Amino acid sequence: MTDLERHDYDVVIIGAGGSGLRAAIEAREQGRRTAIICKSLFGKAHTVMAEGGAAAAMGNANPRDSWQVHFRDTMRGGKFMNNPRMAELHAKEAPDRIWELETYGALFDRTPEGKISQRNFGGHEYPRLAHVGDRTGLELIRTMQQKIVSLQQDDFAATGDYEDNLKVFSECTVTELLKDSSGRIAGVFAYWRETGRFLVFCAPAVVLATGGIGKSFKVTTNSWEYTGDGHALALRAGSTLINMEFVQFHPTGMVWPPSVKGILVTESVRGDGGVLRNDTGSRFMFDYVPDVFRKQYAETEEEADGWYDDPDSNRRPPELLPRDEVARAINSEIKAGHGTEHGGVFLDIATRRSPEFIHKRLPSMYHQFKELADVDITKESMEIGPTCHYVMGGVEVDPDTAAAANVPGLFAAGEVSGGMHGSNRLGGNSLSDLLVFGRRAGSGAAQYLARIGTDRPAVSEDDVTAARNRAVAPFGREGGDNPYSLHQELQQSMNDLVGLIRTAPEMREALSRLQLLKDRAATLTVEGHQQFNPGWHLALDLRNMLLVSECVARAALERQESRGGHTRDDYPTMSAEWRQVNLVCSIAPAGDGIELAHQPLPKMADDLIRLFDRGELSKYLTPAEMAALPVGVQD
């Protein structure tokens, strides 16, 4: 194939968000020639939108904080479905990863002693989120982008070429992973968005850092990039996805005007004193504290308000419950007829904090509401409602090396990986997850290369031809659907039928609609040419969205309980038996369908289990598990 661009690398990283960049830095620092591929321009990945902060038990705001407390909070937030080893590594390593960013030039907000300031967030026992106003993700991505440039400058000084050992291929989309005859990763197939030209990267190690799947839902905080590409690539390459039924609906998205519906309103508004009210002005969250959390949350407004200044003698306000609880509570208020004019509830910071405080702590929220909704949040309440935000599910990985299941040479980190957050992610735990497991993936890839030595895989030319034919297929057809309308139908179905509250009949309906959409997607027609053609790009992304949506719907139908980011109207309670089960999706041997299997959840090590008392464990574990607890667990 003559018009095909070819590159050779040691490590190819798909994704330039927090996890991809951290992986690239690590692989490069371990001496590996590394390529970063991303769909948008460099510096625009989803991570840039993160607002609130990155959770790490540095203990700057409250010296009682430690990795053990962070670990406990993470497990509670995930309702004990987390991969405990991942949660442990995350809690232990997050502080070092944050401090390291300062050596790259990051400028976090400071405490009076000049340390990194830490803010409160839902589900975190102590103020724990390192932050920069409400634009922490921007700081993270820019810092690492600049670190990459710094590594390139070192190479320039040594070789005269900035891009010799570390190069960013931006506005370039990967459509397939390529394997050698023995089933190991051999490279990737991609196209330039600008020209439509195809590329092949030969590389023994590939890191998936592609982020989430939210663009399959209508109301979402996620951008066009979140089409689940990495999830689908992993599946098609023979790896597995876990926890796909767990999708986080953020409690506070904008609801008005319609064109901004879904855009995130950061949790920091609540962390910094904002409260939720219904149409009567009542702080309804006090009515929604579930039993498992009763001990940690305030029962009166006085106690809740006292907590901001004196957290040692007051319990936390219920507005800061984990996201799944808050989202369900808001949903119930709206359903009960206590919503606002535009179908949300009120988020009030105006009556609680001074305009100066709001401008200082929440500048981009002020800006966002002023510009997009004509609302001055220092004077009026915001109208908010749940919005699809994050997928807990993802590629099944080895916690220590980030190696993906079943496919040698494949790694995954960040939102595309599964297990770390269990059934529900705590705010701020994603940014730190990106750093901890991004680094581990980069290092896992480097170690893998050392292991295979000179035995490098070869790309099969037949696979390249097949990949190319699949990519151009939509141009050759006539009379099929337009990708935009198909996408809208998919989003509507997922939103209505596999959303925040789920039932079996609705999910069955979703699955049959997905099947019809899949059939129609096979005959999609695209107009125009290959040069920067968004219609074509969407047509290729749709294949991934449909596959991943099927995983979500299948797993959600299977799991007969409610837990974290999976709420069943027909099975409203948590089941200790189901906690022991990970649902694993793989591609069916024939065709493009999904197979679902039950797999035991990895066990918590004894020293980790001793961090909890029996009373708390009994809310999550089966009687048999309780009977088998190690010695030394407190009552």
Ligand X SMILES: Cc1cc2nc3c(=O)[nH]c(=O)nc-3n(C[C@H](O)[C@H](O)[C@H](O)COP(=O)(O)OP(=O)(O)OC[C@H]3O[C@@H](n4cnc5c(N)ncnc54)[C@H](O)[C@@H]3O)c2cc1C
> Which residues form the catalytic set?
250, 270
Structure tokens at 366: 């002020």
Least Å from the CB of residue 531 to other proteins:
6
Least Å from the CB of residue 210 to other proteins:
14
Query: From CA 623, how far away is CA 499, in angstroms rounded?
Result: 32
Q: Residue 38 or 608: which CB sits closer to ligand X?
A: 38
411 binds, among ligand X, other proteins, none (CB under 5 to 8 A by kind): none
Half-sphere exposure of 295 (CA within 13 A, CB side): 6
Query: From CA 292, how far away is CA 318, in angstroms rounded?
Result: 13
183 binds, among ligand X, other proteins, none (CB under 5 to 8 A by kind): none
Is residue 95 within 8 Å of 340, Cβ to Cβ?
no
Name the amino acid, one letter, at 337. Answer: G
Query: From CA 467, how far away is CA 186, in angstroms rounded?
Result: 14
DSSP 178-210: EE-TTS-EEEEEEEETTT--EEEEE-SEEEE--
Q: Residue 394 or 507: which CB sits closer to ligand X?
A: 394
**Which residues have a Cβ under 8 Å from the Cβ of 526 and sit 6 or more positions away?**
474, 475, 477, 483, 533, 535, 536, 539
Position with the least CB separation from ligand X = 17
Is residue 116 within 8 Å of 60, Cβ to Cβ?
yes
Query: From CA 565, how far away is CA 117, in angstroms rounded?
Result: 30
φ/ψ of 207, rounded to 5, equals -105, 120
Query: From CA 293, how far away is CA 314, in angstroms rounded?
Result: 15
Least Å from the CB of residue 551 to other proteins:
25
Q: Residue 140 or 330: which CB sits closer to ligand X?
A: 140
**Which residues have a Cβ under 8 Å from the Cβ of 249 and sit 6 or more positions away?**
323, 324, 327, 386, 387, 388, 389, 499, 500, 565
Q: Residue 47 or 278: which CB sits closer to ligand X?
A: 47
Structure tokens at 496: 């209505």
Long-range pairs of 62-69 with CB within 8 A, sequence gap ≥ 24: 62/118, 62/126, 62/127, 62/311, 64/126, 65/125, 65/126, 65/128, 67/91, 67/92, 67/94, 67/95, 68/611, 69/125, 69/126
Structure tokens at 248: 């986080």
Least Å from the CB of residue 488 to other proteins:
8
Query: From CA 249, how far away is CA 391, in angstroms rounded?
Result: 9
Is residue 471 within 8 Å of 191, Cβ to Cβ?
yes
Q: Residue 263 or 545: which CB sits closer to other proteins?
A: 263
431 binds, among other proteins, ligand X, none (CB under 5 to 8 A by kind): ligand X
Least Å from the CB of residue 588 to ligand X:
22
Least Å from the CB of residue 296 to ligand X:
21
Least Å from the CB of residue 67 to other proteins:
14
Query: From CA 235, how far away is CA 588, in angstroms rounded?
Result: 10
Residue ranges that bind ligand X, judged by CB under 6 A: 14-20, 37-40, 45-47, 49-54, 136-137, 173-174, 209-211, 221-222, 225, 229-230, 264, 390, 414-416, 427-431, 434
